[in-house]
Amino acid sequence: MKIISLNLEGKKHLAMALPFLQTQAADVVCLMEASKDLEEWLVKQGYFVTFAPMVLRNHDGLTYESGIIFASKQAHRSEIFYYRQPTPEIVLFDTHNKRESISHPVIWATSGDFNFATTHFTWNPNGETADQNQTTDLTALLAYLQTKPPHVLCGDFNIPRNINALYQELRKAYTDNIPLDYRSSLDADHHRAGKDSSLDKLFTQFMVDYAFTQAPYVASDVRLQFGVSDHAAVVATITRP
């Protein structure tokens, strides 16, 4: 089973991302910072889609729901669990109060004999150090996932590999399948900080997009595809012996 996990950064990179997704025609696609209206496009590509809203955003003067998407070529069963939900309603993004304006769901989905979970985890202004918000939210996320059978977990985690201490918490429960020769999953050519030399660490140390597995799931042919968004897409083949 071929899977793709990709942070779209809203509507900014669709001219690159959509042709890539269409050409790849993966069995499962997990998208972060995706607009709800992308559901229609995915359905036209032959996918069954679950959307979980996180926040309202503006683009070219229009307000849209932004969140995470799980899409599969085969019909799936899904549930949405909010491990962080500051308000009962999905609200407009507040630059000055990010924590209280963004909800954080995980989509749990079963397609055939395969179980998946996907999320866009809590952002931290100092990615190298786990703050209290990330620590609290990861505890809640893992408590939920520990009630589930073995699965594949993918998404943008905002937890740099081997730098942020919470990475080791994830590794206690999952295998990290991103090859070690990849040092970052952020794309300097398309990320808003790509031209800021003071933030070079983002593109040399910040591996934050993952395809985690638990036995008996095995990931192979894992690669990062740059040039499709401000994050690279994670592409992998998942098998279950």
Least-confidence region, from 37-41, 112-116, 144-148, 197-201? 197-201
**Digit-coded pLDDT (tens) for 155-170:** 999 999 999 999 999 9
Predicted confidence (pLDDT) per residue in 177-196, tens digit: 999 999 999 999 999 887 78
Give the domain extent around 93.
2-239
Work out how many domains the chain is built from and give that number.
Answer: 1
Residue 59 C-beta-side C-alpha neighbours within 13 Å: 17
Alpha-carbon Rg of the chain, whole angstroms?
17
Residues 66-80: tens digit of each pLDDT = 999 999 999 999 999
**What does the pLDDT read at residue 241?**
86
10: left (phi over 0), alpha (psi -120 to 50) or beta: left
For 123-139, what is each residue's pLDDT tens digit? Answer: 998 889 999 999 999 99
Instruction: Report which of residues 86 and 61 the model is more confident about.
Output: 86
Q: pLDDT above 70 covers what percent of the chain? A: 100
Helix axes 166-173, 132-145, angle to 10 degrees: 10
pLDDT confidence bin for 60, thresholds 50/70/90: confident
Q: Report yes or no: 235 and 24 within 8 Å, Cβ to Cβ.
A: yes
Residue 18 has pLDDT above 90, yes or no: yes
pLDDT above 90 covers a percentage of the chain that reads: 91
Element (H, E) at 27: none
Contact 64, 52 (CB under 8 A): no
Distance from C-alpha of 153 to C-alpha of 220, rounded to nearest angstrom: 15
Residue 177: which CATH number?
A: 3.60.10.10
Mean pLDDT of 46-56: 98
